[in-house]
């Protein structure tokens, strides 16, 4: 399969090139030149396949012969080695738990698949791949644990000092091996600015083979389609074949993958884009005007994005048919206060604890269902992270009810290793050159 730039469809590259470049020079994003439609037999019998089987079939259709079957199977089995169960909370309200991977967030799907694809494409004797990543918390953990021990790669994570949760910091700083962390005395935006500048610095690019691991990489998008098919498969087993997905959204990679799955033939009645106060997309869906804004800080901080980078992919998939887009995707946005109330309601209604991002998706699903004739479609909201990653923003009585997963308990005993730097680029550059 070839991939084109959303800014210039005649600019086409191989999958390998799209993975290592992340972003085309023209600042569009890579998309498959043709979105394949999966065969009816597969789609109608999804409930007969396991998650890795589904993943292979979907990836094979998207990638063609870019990776031979045997190697693709190995990559998938190694990357997607955890479950994504659909759990019923009440009639027509189900949660798709995407946090059973090592970093306890859905980003494990993308990061683990991408790291193995990159490692696969690195030929023997090639220069080590240096992954630079800025994180507000979740991305760094997924990328660190995704690349941990992957041969011929090294990851450098920049995170804002004092602005990630305790568990997130442990996931970033206790890995050792090919992973190193730097705490920056600044904000997430400062971290991102340092990484961006590094990519344009001639001296650093001369010395290192730099690559980014952010959510615009096509190798992160593709594996996120797998769990939509797999969720549908689980519902088919209960004879439910009409589904609506509510997706907590920041950079819109997660919901973009869902829309890609739908384009490939997955029957989805409706997508709900659920955001916090960063409501650029819900506003667009309401008014037809896309107005990027500076991001505002919220308690669901993994979604604090004022100009979602994956939106161009979604627009591209609808080929500017905005009537179809606004029919298929509906937006809801919530304040922090409403988010906290949703966390409390979910806890008191179902005795179930969610992270603030997940709570927003639940609330959006409930609000959407309110206006629908009952029995129209089965609701699924995506749970993007385990609540133990965000204990400080949950109400105390809910936070106390969190059951900390075993993997995390082990982390507490490990020693934190992180360099400390300021926000000036020269200091960061010196660090990279000195520790090359
Ligand atoms: C990254 C993240 C999101 C936002 O996902 P996008 O793909 O950027 O829309 C939502 N929730 C959590 C917990 C995240 O880590």
For every residue of 163-231, DSSP letters joined together read -S-HHHHHHHHS--TTEEEEEESS-HHHHHHHHHHHHT-HHHHHHSEEEE--TT-HHHHHHHHHHHHHH
Helix (H, G, I), strand (E, B) or coil at 327: helix
What is the predicted pLDDT for the residue at 103?
94
Q: Using one digit for the tens of pLDDT, what is the confidence trace for 126-158?
A: 899 999 999 988 899 999 999 999 989 999 999
Give which of 98, 168, 171, 134 is closest to 389, Cα–Cα.
168
What is the predicted pLDDT for the residue at 373?
80
Evaluate if residue 374 carries a pLDDT over 90. no
Beta bridge partners of 94: 88, 380
Ligand 1 centroid to residue 127 C-alpha, Å: 32
Query: Is this prediction's pTM over 0.85?
Result: yes
| Marked catalytic residue, from 2, 41, 107, 400 | 107
Task: Give the residue-averaged pLDDT of 343-355.
Answer: 98
What is the predicted pLDDT for the residue at 125?
79
Beta bridge partners of 133: 157
- Cβ atoms of residues 364 and 330 within 8 Å: no
Look at 22 and 96; give whichever has higher pLDDT: 96
Q: What is the Cα–Cα distance from 377 to 373, expressed in whole angstroms?
A: 9
In the chain, what are the domains?
Answer: 79-100+219-404 (3.40.50.1100)
Task: Give the residue-averaged pLDDT of 3-31.
Answer: 93
Q: Using one digit for the tens of pLDDT, what is the confidence trace for 181-202?
A: 999 999 988 998 999 899 889 9
Reading the block at residue 328, the tokens are 């298929």
Evaluate if residue 339 carries a pLDDT over 80. yes
For every residue of 370-414, DSSP letters joined together read HTS-TTS-EEEEEE-B-GGGSGGGS-HHHHTT----HHHHHHTTS
Q: How far is CA 277 from the centre of its chain?
A: 19
Residue 2 has phi, psi (to 5 degrees) of: -95, 155
Task: Give the residue-averaged pLDDT of 309-323.
Answer: 92
Enumerate residues 6+ apart whose C-beta is below 8 A from 93: 362, 365, 366, 369, 379, 381
Q: Where are the beta strands (DSSP E) in 342-423?
A: 378-383, 419-421
Evaluate if residue 225 carries a pLDDT over 80. yes
Q: What is the mean pLDDT of the chain?
A: 95
Let me know if 366 is a catalytic residue. Answer: no
- Pocket, ligand 1, Cβ cutoff 6 A: 105, 107, 138, 215, 248-254, 302-303, 355, 357, 384-385
What is the predicted pLDDT for the residue at 21?
86
Evaluate if residue 348 carries a pLDDT over 80. yes
Q: What percent of the chain has pLDDT over 70?
A: 100
What is the predicted pLDDT for the residue at 321?
87
Helix (H, G, I), strand (E, B) or coil at 105: strand
Ligand 1 centroid to residue 49 C-alpha, Å: 27
Evaluate if residue 241 carries a pLDDT over 80. yes
């Amino acid at each position: 399969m070839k991939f084109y730039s959303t800014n210039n469809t005649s600019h086409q590259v191989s999958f390998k090139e799209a993975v290592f470049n992340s972003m085309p020079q023209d600042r569009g994003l890579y998309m498959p030149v043709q979105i394949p439609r999966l065969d009816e037999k597969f789609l109608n019998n999804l409930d007969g396949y396991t998650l890795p089987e589904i993943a292979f079939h979907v990836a094979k259709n998207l990638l063609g012969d870019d990776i031979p079957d045997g190697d693709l199977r190995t990559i998938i089995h190694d990357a997607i080695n955890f479950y994504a169960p659909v759990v019923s909370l009440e009639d027509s309200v189900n949660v798709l738990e995407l946090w059973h991977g090592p970093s306890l967030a859905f980003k494990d799907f993308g990061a683990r698949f991408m790291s193995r694809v990159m490692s696969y494409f690195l030929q023997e004797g090639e220069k080590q791949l240096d992954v630079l990543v800025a994180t507000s918390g979740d991305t760094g953990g997924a990328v660190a644990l995704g690349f941990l021990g992957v041969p011929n790669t090294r990851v450098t994570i920049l995170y804002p000092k004092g602005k990630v949760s305790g568990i997130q910091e442990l996931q970033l700083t206790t890995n050792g091996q090919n992973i190193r962390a730097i705490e920056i005395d600044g904000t997430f935006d400062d971290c991102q600015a340092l990484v961006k500048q590094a990519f344009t610095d001639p001296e650093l690019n001369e010395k290192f083979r730099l690559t980014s691991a952010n959510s615009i990489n096509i190798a992160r998008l593709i594996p996120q389609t797998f769990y939509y098919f797999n969720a549908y498969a689980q519902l088919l087993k209960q004879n439910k074949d009409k589904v609506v997905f509510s997706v907590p959204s920041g950079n819109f990679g997660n919901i973009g993958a869902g829309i890609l799955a739908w384009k490939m033939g997955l029957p989805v009645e409706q997508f709900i884009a659920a955001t916090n106060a960063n409501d650029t997309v819900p506003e667009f869906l309401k008014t037809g005007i896309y107005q990027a804004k500076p991001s505002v800080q919220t308690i669901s901080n993994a979604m604090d994005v004022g100009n979602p980078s994956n939106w161009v992919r979604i627009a591209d998939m609808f080929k500017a048919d905005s009537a179809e887009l606004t029919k298929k995707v509906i937006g809801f946005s919530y304040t922090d206060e409403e988010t906290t109330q949703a966390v409390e309601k979910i806890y008191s209604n179902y005795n179930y604890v969610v992270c603030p991002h997940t709570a927003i998706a639940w609330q959006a699903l409930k609000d959407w269902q309110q206006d629908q004739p009952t029995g129209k479609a089965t609701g699924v909201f995506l749970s993007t992270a385990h609540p133990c990653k965000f204990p400080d923003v949950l109400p105390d009585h809910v936070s106390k009810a969190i059951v900390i997963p075993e993997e995390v308990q082990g982390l507490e005993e490990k020693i934190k290793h992180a360099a400390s730097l300021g926000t000036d680029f020269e200091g960061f550059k010196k660090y990279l050159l000195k520790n090359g």
